[in-house]
Amino acid sequence: MSGNAAPFFYKQPFRYLRWASHHKPAYFYSIIVGLMGPVFIIVAPPVRKYLGDGPRPKIPLTYPIPKGPRPRPTGFDDE
């Protein structure tokens, strides 16, 4: 095998990963980051619970209506 040829993945996987990280870093690291996503789905919830992240308040679906009569706006000179 010549010095410039890329090593084969199935014969020498670690050597190939080292070669790819040097010669094709955008592809290599984008694959690494992409593979971390499913791992975080499994790992993140227990870690968040351990660090004290509790239940979150629910998002309101309507605007709260104030109780009592509504004040009339004054002082706009349009009457």
pLDDT of residue 37: 94
Q: For 13-44, what is each residue's pLDDT tens digit? A: 899 999 999 999 999 999 999 999 999 999 99
Residues counted in the chain: 79
Residue 3 lies in a domain: no
Q: How far is CA 53 from CA 8, 46, 56, 57, 77, in A?
A: 45, 10, 8, 12, 52
Tell me the residue range of the domain where 31 lies: 13-50
Average pLDDT of 60-75?
85
Split into its structural domains, the chain has a count of: 1
More confident residue, 72 or 52: 52
pLDDT band of 78, cuts 50, 70, 90: low
Residue 73 lies in a domain: no
Q: For 2-17, what is each residue's pLDDT tens digit? A: 566 777 888 888 999 9
Tokens of 72: 């009339």
